[in-house]
């Protein structure tokens, strides 16, 4: 089951994209046990206990405003031979929390394996980067006042309950240039609902909302869908207009004939539009998407410890937390992911195709023409590079 199926429950992805995406709120109930696989309270507690967390990975907000950093960070902490600033002081952070502040863990996809995996799956489903923030709110407290976001969000309630007030679109599909900055909310509240542990809430960008924790501590994950817009795609393509000489000529915006010359250039633009390299623009956005998602390595170090013991009966698994690309040439095959490019001889092609099509396999199952020794060498190399990991089958 991929990430979108996972969080939508009984709602089919096709129905979501047709009836809800960018249009209206969706509330899905249940799923407490499955969300525990994404993030458990024990994992969250262990993270917040650490003494090596730096601002802004964690920040504190209360009643819509961020608390001063000096309230919960310490500076000049010695690590090795260096002194570093911005270290989160767990004791002071929890003191602020006990006095009504919400703990915000930013970029949770970097710290929790379950969120990393879900984030990669959602990134593939939406064709754009995603980010995950965690909000831990004390009893009957508010982190943010009514506001809108410039990206769609999926809220996953992992602990406790939270009451959400939903309004309407203040701005339909706002971009980053139209963020909420304390503007007056001019739309009326339309509904109120309560999220219990295991529930999911989808809120389109521009839709005004706020939330308050009920009795007891509330913890939820907000996954932001940082969608590419058509405007962004065309902007990528339009950057290449400098290749056309008419658009490299100077423009005098106060010239008497500006309007007539503008119309001339618009006619030229019409002829250029079909010739722009939209495939290159798409590739550029794809690179942004993959760069923004952290690679979800799995059992990397543990597998390195087991690498020398790999034989033809060893169980192996594909690391599905990576964006993987193949390039096949006449004499070689290149496997590219996470900034790496690994080149193999052409005879490894069938084995690599097999690997990428199977979540788990035994080394001996790799197809010819590789012999047993070559299969083991190939698998060991891909374990070294984090594409595969050891998994008993």
Question: What topology does CATH give the domain 300-390?
Answer: Outer Surface Protein A; domain 3 (3.90.930)
Q: How far is CA 36 from the centre of its chain?
A: 19
Lookup: tokens for 238? 């339009």
Whether domain 3-225 has CATH 2.60.120.650: the reply is: yes
Q: Where in the chain is the domain with CATH 2.60.120.650?
A: 3-225
Q: What angle do CA 36, 42, 44 make, to 5 degrees?
A: 90
Burial (CB count within 10 angstroms: exposed 0-12, middle 13-18, buried 19+), residue 339: exposed
CA–CA distance, 29 with 313 (Å, rounded to integer): 44
Share in percent of the chain as helix, strand, coil (round to 5):
35, 25, 40
369 membership: H or E segment, kind and range: none
Between the CA atoms of 261, 266, 267 and 268, what dihedral angle is there, to the nearest 10 degrees?
90
Mapped onto helix, strand or coil, the DSSP state of residue 385 is coil
> At which residue do the structure tokens 């962004």 appear?
232
Which residue ranges does the chain devote to CATH 3.90.930.40? 300-390
Q: State residue 221's pLDDT score.
A: 97
* β-sheet with 162-169: strand ranges across: 191-195, 162-169, 207-213
Q: Which of 138, 132, 131, 136 is nearest to 158 (CA)?
A: 136
pTM: 0.91
Could you give the CA distance from residue 14 to residue 25 in angstroms, rounded to a whole number?
Answer: 16
3-state DSSP call for residue 357?
A: helix
> Distance from CA of residue 271 to its chain's centroid?
38
List the one residue out of 263, 225, 46, 237 whose CA is nearest residue 118.
Answer: 225
CA proximity to 172, closest of 189, 150, 195, 194 = 150
- pLDDT score recorded for residue 145: 86
Tokens of 337: 């992911």
CA distance 107 to 152: 16
- Chunked into runs of 10 residues, the chain (393 residues) has average pLDDT values of 87 96 95 86 94 95 91 94 94 95 96 95 96 93 86 96 95 94 94 95 96 89 97 92 87 95 94 92 95 93 96 96 94 94 96 96 96 97 97 89
Which two structure tokens, joined as six digits, stand for 21? 């995406």
Report cis status (omega within 30 of 0) of the bond before 369: yes
The whole-angstrom separation of Cα 155 and Cα 200 is 5
């Amino acid at each position: 089951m991929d990430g979108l199926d996972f969080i939508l429950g009984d709602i089919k992805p096709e129905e979501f994209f047709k009836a809800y995406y960018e249009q209206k709120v969706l509330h899905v109930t249940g799923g407490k046990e499955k969300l525990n696989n994404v993030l458990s309270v024990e994992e969250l507690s262990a993270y917040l206990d650490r003494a090596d967390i730096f601002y802004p990975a964690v920040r504190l907000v209360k009643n819509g405003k961020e608390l001063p950093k000096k309230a919960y960070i310490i500076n000049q902490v010695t690590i090795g031979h260096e002194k570093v600033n911005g270290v989160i002081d767990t004791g002071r952070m929890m003191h602020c929390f006990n006095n009504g502040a919400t703990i915000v863990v930013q970029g949770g996809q970097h710290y929790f394996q379950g969120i990393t995996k879900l984030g990669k799956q959602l990134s593939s489903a939406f064709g754009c980067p995603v980010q995950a923030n965690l909000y831990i709110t004390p009893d009957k407290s508010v982190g943010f006042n009514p506001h809108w976001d410039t990206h769609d969000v999926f809220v996953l309630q992992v602990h406790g309950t939270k009451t959400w007030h939903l309004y309407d679109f203040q701005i339909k599909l706002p971009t980053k240039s139209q963020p909420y900055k304390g503007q007056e909310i001019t739309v009326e509240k339309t509904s109120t609902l309560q999220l219990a542990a295991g529930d999911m809430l989808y809120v389109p960008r521009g839709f005004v909302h706020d939330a308050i924790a009920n009795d007891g501590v509330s913890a939820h994950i907000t996954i932001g869908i940082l969608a590419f817009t058509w405007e962004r795609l065309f902007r990528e393509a339009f950057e290449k207009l400098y290749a056309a000489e008419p658009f490299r000529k100077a423009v005098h915006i106060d010239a008497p004939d500006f309007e007539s010359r503008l119309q001339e250039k618009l006619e030229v633009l019409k002829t250029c539009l079909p010739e722009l390299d939209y495939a290159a623009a798409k590739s550029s956005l794809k690179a942004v998407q993959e760069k923004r998602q952290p690679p979800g390595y799995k059992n990397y170090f543990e597998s390195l410890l087991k690498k020398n013991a790999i034989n033809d009966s060893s169980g192996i698994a594909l690391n599905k937390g990576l964006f993987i690309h193949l390039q096949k040439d006449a004499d070689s095959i290149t496997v590219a992911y996470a900034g790496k490019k690994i080149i193999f001889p052409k005879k490894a092609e069938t084995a690599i195709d097999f690997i990428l099509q199977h979540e788990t396999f035994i080394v001996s199952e790799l197809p010819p023409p590789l012999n047993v020794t070559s299969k083991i060498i190939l698998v060991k190399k891909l374990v070294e590079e984090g594409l595969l990991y050891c998994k008993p089958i």
